Amino acid sequence: MTILSWTRRGLLAAVGAVLIAGGMFASATAQTPPGVLIVGQIAEPKSLDPAAVTAVNDFRILVNVYEGLTRYKSGTLEVEPALATSWSISDDGTEYTLKLRSGVNFHDGTPFNAEAVKFNFDRMLNEKHPYHDTGPFPLSFFFSAVKSTDVVDDMTVKFTLNAPYAPFLSNLAYPTGLIVSPAAVAASGKEFGRNPVGTGPFKFGEWRSNEAVVVERNDGYWGEAAGSQAVVFRPITDANTRVAEMLAGGIDLMVEVPPTSLGQFSGDGFSIAEQAGPHVWFLILNAKEGPFADKRVRQAANYAINKEAIVNDVLEGTATVAAGPTPPAFAWAYNESLDPYPYDPEKAKALIAEAGASGAELKFYVTEGGSGMLDPVPMGTAIQADLEAVGFDVKIETYEWNTFLGEVNPGLEGKADMAEMAWMTNDPDTLPYLALRSEAWPDKGGFNSGYYANAEVDKLLEAARTATDQNERAKLYREMQTIVQEDAPWVFVANWKQNAVTNDRVKNFGLEPSFLLHLQGVVKD
Amino acid sequence: MGGYIVKRLVSAVPVLLGITIIVFLIMSLIPGDPATAILGSYATPENVEKLNRDLGLDKPMVQRYFIWLGNMLTGDFGRSFSLNRPVLDEVSERFNATLVLAGTAFVLCSLLGILAGVISAARQYGLADKAITFVVLIGISVPSFFLGMMMILLFAVNLRWLPVSGMYAIYGGGDLPDLINHLIMPALALAAVATGVIARLSRSAMLEVLRQDFIRTARAKGVPERRVIMGHALRAAMVSIIPILGIQAGFVLSGAVYIEIVFQWPGVGRMLVDAILKRDLLLVQGGVVFVAACYVLFNISVDVAQSLLDPRIKT
Amino acid sequence: MPALKVDNISKTFPLKRSLFGPALPGVRAVQPVSFEIATGETLGLVGESGCGKSTLARMLVGLLEPTEGMIEIEGRALDNANPAEFGKLIQYVFQDPQSSLNPRKTIRQVMEAPLKLLHDMSKPDRSKRVSEIFESVNLREEFLDRYPHEFSGGQAQRIGIARALAANPRIMILDEPVSALDVSVQAQVLNLLAELKAKFSLTYLFITHDLAVVEAVSDRIIVLYFGSVVEVGRAEKIFGNPRHPYTKLLAESAPVVGRPLTAPEQKETELPDPLDPPPGCPFAGRCPRSTDLCRVEEPLLKPMGEDQLAACHHPLEA
Amino acid sequence: MSTFFKLLFRNRLAAMGAVVLSVILILVLITPLLPLQNPDITATADRFQKPFADGHLLGTDHLGRDLLSRLLHGTRLSLAVGISAALIAATIGSAIGIIAGYFGGRTDNIIMRGVDMLMAFPYILLALAIVAALGPGLMNALIAVAAVNVPFFARNIRGITVGLAGREFIDAARLAGMGHTRIILTELLPNVLPVIIIAMSTTIGWMILETAGLSFLGLGSQPPQADLGSMLGEARSAMISHPHTSVVPGIMIFLIVMSINLLGDGIRDALDPRLRSGALSRPRATTLVERTGDVPEATDDLLAIQDLETQFHVNKRIYRAVGGVSLSVKPGECLGVIGESGSGKSVTALSVMGLVASPPGVITAGAVRFRGEDLIDAPYESLRQKRGDRVAYIFQDPLSTLHPLYRVGQQLAEAIQSHHKISKAEARERAIQLLEDVRIPNAESRVDNFPHEMSGGMRQRVGIAMALANEPNVIIADEPTTALDVTVQAQILSLLDDLRRDRGLAIVFITHDFGVVAQLCDRVAVVYAGRVVEEGPTGAVLDAPAHPYTKRLIACVPELGGGRRMLSAIPGLPPVVDDLPPGCAFAPRCDKAQEKCRHIDISLAGTGDRSVRCLYPEELV
């Protein structure tokens, strides 16, 4: 019958067309060209204005385009000269005078000088500055200690602080302190974030929205020229797709490999880079009310949770067990003598029984993702199971990251007993100062959402912040760690080892403890 | 006809106005605010409040609505908080990508769906019918994101036939073959469900029509069977298929959200999801108004197509 | 006192206002019509499709609100907005018996509704009454618990009649009650209707397009054309002795055994456009007797001989 | 109800769906009783065990939880969510739809505008926004999924309600004194309910997919609680390294949704009353032929129907619509075939060119010969070439028999072009000529009209023109004037009569009206219950009917000019042709019937041109 032959013919034609189309373009997944490094990012950058962004994801691009006055020495979190060649600190610790590197030009050809530095900090800090409206500058409080920035001469700049502030040089190395070209800000105004100009080894090439940010080698760089001709940052939000792209050769380098996918890259053709950094993943316990108001119950939670299993199984070894509030990456300030709470459910049960908290009902805030949160839902679920095993009744509530922060940062009182949290900081001061002092309770503008209070800790932290001698600071921090571990305001869970995968065409790649991604030396065949 | 189009366009205005109110209300009711999203871990109530003031979110709701609406009418959709660029730039750029994806998927699902439905009906209970029914069922029974992920696994990772994600190759792409190459998987994954729905409904529409008296008339005139099916029957069936296409277009547009996430397609759906999560009010509002306007326009053109096809509809 | 008095009733369907154009006057489906039906009388209403007979019927039972005019039943004016008030006095038998029965209800449920709602009868009373009515329409009581689709057209129409009777009305509007039925069944239903009329002393308005049927059942007949009454007369006389050319055309068009096939008119004969009605007599365009007068002035219904009225400027000779 | 299940299970795919779904449902219902591991107990060291591992039939997930146990608990939850969401959406949506559809006018307008707005809003974003506003959790996801589906139900149900609200039984209910609420609840709802159930049954699957989608976006059940969507979402990160963790819930979703869809289709079909009569199956291009027995010899008639038997096979029942009919026409002759509805006259006519819809129609015996050539077993192409070319049809209702979307000129041209290769312009010329032939005024402009733009009489003229297009030898007119007004009928009949005489056409004229037969036909055949009971010259049969049925039928018809009177009627009803009594089919209604009439197969007998199928005829023939 005609219909039959007709439909059969139609079907054949359709199948043929699809096959031809597929065949025609089958070779289109060609290898990326040498000299062009393609990096799989976790998200589209918000902006390429260093003063305007907050995410590590964006920092990874920025540190290749911009430079700060100081930077972290490779492989450490110690500060070394960058655009400032040297500095001096007044005795009272409130005046920092920096000598600037000469002969440095921004990518737009304008010179880097003291005026440019002043412009940068005034733009962020002075609400009356003509370009303050290119903000908002959410992390400007990193420099809230700065009372004024003054041009001493063309190549010297002086910062006057309103109080001694030990982490200042470290904060200058943080991406928020990266120096932008004043001329470019003046030219682009609010659109500067999409037309970035800095002094770094790469200069901005193009930004194809949601496809790629391309940076190209800066041939006029004052230091050693970059190893790659160009770097392409591709935003691939879905971790799974990122892994697939890596496997399929669509990207050369991917960061933040999901732990469960690490196994995929263990064979030939890929290499995995790992680097522990200043990261701590913990549970905030509500010390103000409920069962966790009792120190014994907080300790019990620390004993009850099998951290080994979490870091080795759930996180596939991409983290280590945390012992206290300070990550080991701050080697100089880390208290080596502290041992993590062992996994001891029996002891936990005993403590809970002693405190009369058996069978307590706990509300547990879990986030679905977020900066440094690793695999928060599986981790939360595993924690929940462990806590239930010692007799708690745990109810999880999951929130998307922004909502989660909106719930947690104002404090857990009246809402929850525990919440996941993770911090990545550049200085041992930051986290405890912002999240463990009694002066940092949420109503006072801090992040101490669990309402921990210990006068001794408060005192130690204030002293450490104003001390200019690093050894003195280190002693104070170690003492603080011992007390905090004993008081157990948090459950200390994990310190993340950041990872990245490169394919075998990428050479000279290494991760930094700062979690930043310096690609200057990377070469691709 | 021209008057009809103008009439339909005018009647779309209250619908669009209603949509602006709905989207504005919903976004206002969602807890959390853009400042928290911008500040991230450093969001203290104090910082949040200051930033909200900077962003103009401390004004009363009604006032904010009318400011927004007024600006929009002058073509100013505002600036996105989370992307730090004008909403209109971002939305129109993203919208193009979605149009390419959803448009292709829509054409695919319409053609494949109707073809499958017609063959299925013409060969009712035959082998072709059963085979198509089965394939179509798979299409509508698997979540599209799951299908997409499986396709990536098979065709991109294992067979390396097609690129995993994105809209263009990062290097050396940008032309039409490159686009098609990137489009095949997401468009198919997106079209799967709609193809199934259209095929099933086309099949029953065709069966319905094939029973009509005028088909018997055509046969009685000696019209060849192929023309009876593809001419008389299909044309009449299109009257009930076209509204389904209109509804499915909405589903395809919505379903693009998942596909855009899985295939990293730089479209407006993924952007809107992110924007909702980041509480980027202006971006969500602007984006939704754009999408809705497009949907409304599309539906008007469906109605116009319907009235061109069916002279019985009063225009 | 007449059973039903209709005084200048008319219906105009409003057109949807277009957005830019001027407001349109609307479609006049029924021109002002007046007539009376005496108690116990059967008034026939004939006309071709589109002449407004169903619109008129629906106004008479309150399903449509008249644009103007008044309906009186046994001297009482009816409230146009309340079909339940109509329901007790005047009932309607629909053309398509199947579609007038809810397919998801048993016949008993259908039958009991008017008893319960209009007459507030108790359950045992209702069931007794239903049995009585069913008997009078020659249907078996076992049918009561079946669903409408189980019945043939003739049976369904008896059920439709029974349902109308259950309301215990004074007047029944029969809208083409037999046109969907086969001839052998048609006769059964017509005879039944005649029996019921005598038994319950009913008054009928019988609407149909079939001249032979209407002549066989009616006392008087109204001929409707394009929403207007063109002729009224005694049933036995009107078709044999029409005064209006349209009535004559109708009578001559009916195929009759033994009469040779002739086309009474050969011209293009379409009804006037209801959106743009011509002035004067609506039939003028088809009428062999029409003059200029007919195209200008609408003729009024005038007595023509005994018991006969016609709206024609140039009536046929008696 | 039992017929419903019978119908449902006759559809093998639906039965399969029902079986799969019941297995899943049973498993899920007894899940708490099964010896399964606790779905929430983690054993991270045992994570990602492959299926069939020790103690874990389907393996374990990323936290070492037993997949089988999570799968069953998850399915339980997903089904519960899907079903409740569908129920909520259906209830609210239907209520809105019914109210809008019943009241119409302004209410309808306002409600539907609102629905339009919600539909223009991308539904995933709406769901996302609702969940974002309410907070996460399966319950809120359920509310969101239900909410975004309300507009679809509302639209769908409104459409159905608008159709129902215009039906006469609603008017009847108003006349029975019912108020709006009562009409909505007792008259409309029972009729809309099947549609709601169908929509729901096909929607549950969709709801499960949508809930899974929300879980994919991270909004859904809260850990450790498993639902299929969140299982899929959790497994996603390990999809490449440990695909089984996503494949397991993926397959379960597929099975559930597919079985629900199959079952939903089955329910839809089974609830659709048209399916019972086979009305939803496609009619083939020609009637199915399963001829047994001998094929009668050729005659020299132009068209001869010989011992034709056409049956309808519906389920197990066989309706003998045509039970051995023989008729013939010569050139220029007009044969009337008269009978009541269901007598088989139309089926006989349609059988001639294989136009009886099949399924369910089957020609089981006899022959139809055109100039001696048997059309019954002719190949499709040769039959097609004669259709409309040698033997043409005119059908009853010209509105439904003309294609509504083609201009009449196109339809006329097509009739010619199906048989003759002529240019478009020529075909149009010819079409105009044809319209003039059937005396349509302004043929030049009328040729571009659509059927709905013409009056009934004009349309039927087009129908006749179409039949004349190829100057056929025989025209079969199947009640061509039944739907027309008397004045129009008179014109059409006289037109047909003229054409016949001018062109020497043979006409088979099917009708139920004696008046029409008397005026137009040379001979008449009276059909009852699928057989010819009497045949002869029209005048002779009408003047002196021989069969009691013919006689009594003629007596039933009121004649104009008789005045007010009682009419004679035939008691009883025509028989249903699936269970014909032996002997004379009219015997149960015949007052002359004897015992013998009920047993003997009576043949058509007579002399000359008259014959009758009766043992005790009224007249001797």
Q: Does D574 touch chain C (CB under 8 A)?
A: yes
Question: Which tens digit of pLDDT belongs to each residue from D236-269?
Answer: 878 888 888 888 898 999 999 888 888 887 887 7
A79/A90 Cα distance (integer angstroms):
18
Q: Which residue has the tokens 């009536």?
A: C315
Looking at residue A6, its pLDDT comes to: 46
D158/D102 Cα distance (integer angstroms):
8
- Contact residues on chain D for A254, CB-CB shorter than 8 A: none
Phi and psi angles of residue C119, each rounded to the nearest 5 degrees, phi first? -120, 0
* Size (chain C), residues: 318
Domain ranges of chain A: 1-66+200-252+505-525, 67-192, 279-497
The rounded percent of chain C whose pLDDT value lies above 70 is: 91
The residue type of B36 is T
Judge: D340–C118 Cβ closer than 8 Å, yes or no: no
Looking at residue D223, its pLDDT comes to: 80
Q: Which CATH architecture fits A279-497?
A: Roll (3.10)
Q: Does A246 touch chain D (CB under 8 A)?
A: no
Judge: D560–C266 Cβ closer than 8 Å, yes or no: no
Phi and psi angles of residue D600, each rounded to the nearest 5 degrees, phi first? -90, 140
Neighbours of A523 (CB within 10 A): 16
Distance, in angstroms, between A251 CA and closest chain B CA? 9
Question: Which tens digit of pLDDT belongs to each residue from A261-304?
Answer: 888 898 888 999 999 889 999 999 999 999 999 999 999 999 99
Nearest CA in chain C to D341: C182
Nearest CA in chain B to C19: B7
pLDDT higher than 50, residue A24: no
| A 316-375 → D contacts, CB under 8 A | 366, 368-369, 375
User: Nearest CA to D433 among D412, D411, D417?
Assistant: D412
Question: Which tens digit of pLDDT belongs to each residue from D196-249?
Answer: 887 887 788 888 888 888 877 777 778 888 888 888 888 887 888 888 888 889
Q: Count residue pairs from C and D with Cβ separation < 8 A.
A: 212
Judge: A381–D238 Cβ closer than 8 Å, yes or no: no
Q: Which residue has the tokens 């069939």?
A: D52
In the structure, what pLDDT confidence band is assigned to residue D273 with cuts at 50, 70 and 90?
Answer: low
Judge: D222–A396 Cβ closer than 8 Å, yes or no: yes
Phi and psi angles of residue C82, each rounded to the nearest 5 degrees, phi first? -120, 100
Phi and psi angles of residue C208, each rounded to the nearest 5 degrees, phi first? -160, 170
Question: Which tens digit of pLDDT belongs to each residue from D22-72?
Answer: 999 999 999 888 888 888 888 888 888 888 888 888 888 888 889 999 999
Question: Which tens digit of pLDDT belongs to each residue from D167-189?
Answer: 889 988 888 888 889 999 999 99
Pairing of strands A230-235, A212-217: antiparallel
Q: Does C157 touch chain D (CB under 8 A)?
A: no
Query: Please, which residues bridge with residue A151 across strands?
Result: A157
Write the residue in C62, C100, C154 that is nearest to D573 by C-beta: C154
Judge: D124–B145 Cβ closer than 8 Å, yes or no: no
Distance, in angstroms, between B7 CA and closest chain C CA? 7
D315/D16 Cα distance (integer angstroms):
20
Chains that touch A (3 or more CB pairs under 8 A): B, D
DSSP 8-state assignment for residue B232? I
Phi and psi angles of residue B308, each rounded to the nearest 5 degrees, phi first? -70, -40
Q: Does D130 touch chain B (CB under 8 A)?
A: yes
User: Nearest CA to D527 among D489, D491, D553?
Assistant: D553
Write the residue in B54, B171, B266 that is nearest to A210 by C-beta: B266
Residue A215 · residue A195 · CB < 8 Å:
no
Q: Does D47 touch chain A (CB under 8 A)?
A: yes
The residue type of B255 is G
Helical (H) or strand (E) element with A487: helix A470-487
- Contact residues on chain C for D344, CB-CB shorter than 8 A: none
Q: Does D121 touch chain B (CB under 8 A)?
A: yes
Looking at residue C266, its pLDDT comes to: 54
- Contact residues on chain D for B234, CB-CB shorter than 8 A: none
| Residues near C68 by beta carbon (within 8 Å), at least 6 away in sequence | C8, C9, C10, C32
**Structural domains in chain D?**
2-30+67-276 (1.10.3720.10), 396-471 (no CATH)
Helix ranges (H only) for D58-137 are: 67-103, 105-120, 123-134
D161/D101 Cα distance (integer angstroms):
5
Q: Does A135 touch chain B (CB under 8 A)?
A: yes
Looking at residue A4, its pLDDT comes to: 42
A244/D250 Cα distance (integer angstroms):
19
Residue D545 · residue D338 · CB < 8 Å:
no
**From the DSSP assignment, how many helices (H) and strands (E) are in chain A?**
14, 20
- Contact residues on chain D for C236, CB-CB shorter than 8 A: 563-564
Per residue in C262-276, is it b (16+ CB within 10 Å) or e — as a string? Answer: ebbbeeebebbebee
Angle between helices D168-175 and C107-119 (to 10 degrees): 40
B102/B95 Cα distance (integer angstroms):
10
**Mean local confidence (pLDDT), B278-291:** 86
Judge: D557–C255 Cβ closer than 8 Å, yes or no: no
In the structure, what pLDDT confidence band is assigned to residue A28 with cuts at 50, 70 and 90?
Answer: very low
Helical (H) or strand (E) element with D524: strand D523-528
ipTM of the complex: 0.82
**Mean local confidence (pLDDT), A360-378:** 88
Helical (H) or strand (E) element with D381: helix D380-386
Higher pLDDT, B130 or D474: D474
- CATH code reported for the domain at A1-66+200-252+505-525: 3.40.190.10
Q: Which residue has the tokens 């003492």?
A: A479
| D 25-44 → A contacts, CB under 8 A | 40-42, 44
Question: Which tens digit of pLDDT belongs to each residue from C34-57?
Answer: 999 999 999 999 988 878 888 898
| Residues near A322 by beta carbon (within 8 Å), at least 6 away in sequence | A280, A281, A282, A307, A340, A492, A493, A494, A495
Question: Which tens digit of pLDDT belongs to each residue from A300-344?
Answer: 999 999 999 999 998 988 999 999 999 998 988 999 999 999 999
Q: Which CATH number fits domain A67-192: 3.40.50.720, 3.40.630.30, 3.90.76.10, 3.20.20.140?
A: 3.90.76.10
Distance, in angstroms, between D48 CA and closest chain A CA? 10
Least confident of A69-73, A476-480, B262-266, C274-278: C274-278
0.95 exceeded by the pTM? no
Segments of A318-359 assigned E as strands: 319-321
In sequence order, what DSSP letters do the residues of A243-256 get, joined into one string? HHHHHHTS-SEEES
Helix ranges (H only) for B45-175 are: 45-55, 61-73, 87-122, 127-141, 144-151
Helical (H) or strand (E) element with A362: strand A361-367
**Mean local confidence (pLDDT), D543-567:** 85
Backbone region of residue D117 per phi and psi (left: phi > 0; alpha: psi in -120 to 50; beta: other values) = alpha
Q: Does A247 touch chain D (CB under 8 A)?
A: yes
DSSP 8-state assignment for residue D76? H
pLDDT higher than 80, residue A18: no
Helix ranges (H only) for D402-447 are: 408-417, 424-437, 443-446
Looking at residue C16, its pLDDT comes to: 60
- Contact residues on chain B for A5, CB-CB shorter than 8 A: none
A338/A478 Cα distance (integer angstroms):
9
- Contact residues on chain D for A398, CB-CB shorter than 8 A: 136, 218, 222-223
Phi and psi angles of residue A150, each rounded to the nearest 5 degrees, phi first? -125, 145
Looking at residue A283, its pLDDT comes to: 95
Distance, in angstroms, between D351 CA and closest chain C CA? 23
Query: Please, which residues bridge with residue C204 across strands?
Result: C42, C172
The residue type of C273 is D
Least confident of A6-15, D205-214, D309-318, D524-533: A6-15
Instruction: Indicate the SS3 state at residue C219.
Output: coil
**Do chains C and A have 3 or more beta-carbon pairs under 8 angstroms?**
no
* Size (chain A), residues: 525
- Substitution target in C99, C138, C184, C196 with the highest count of D β-carbons within 10 Å is C184
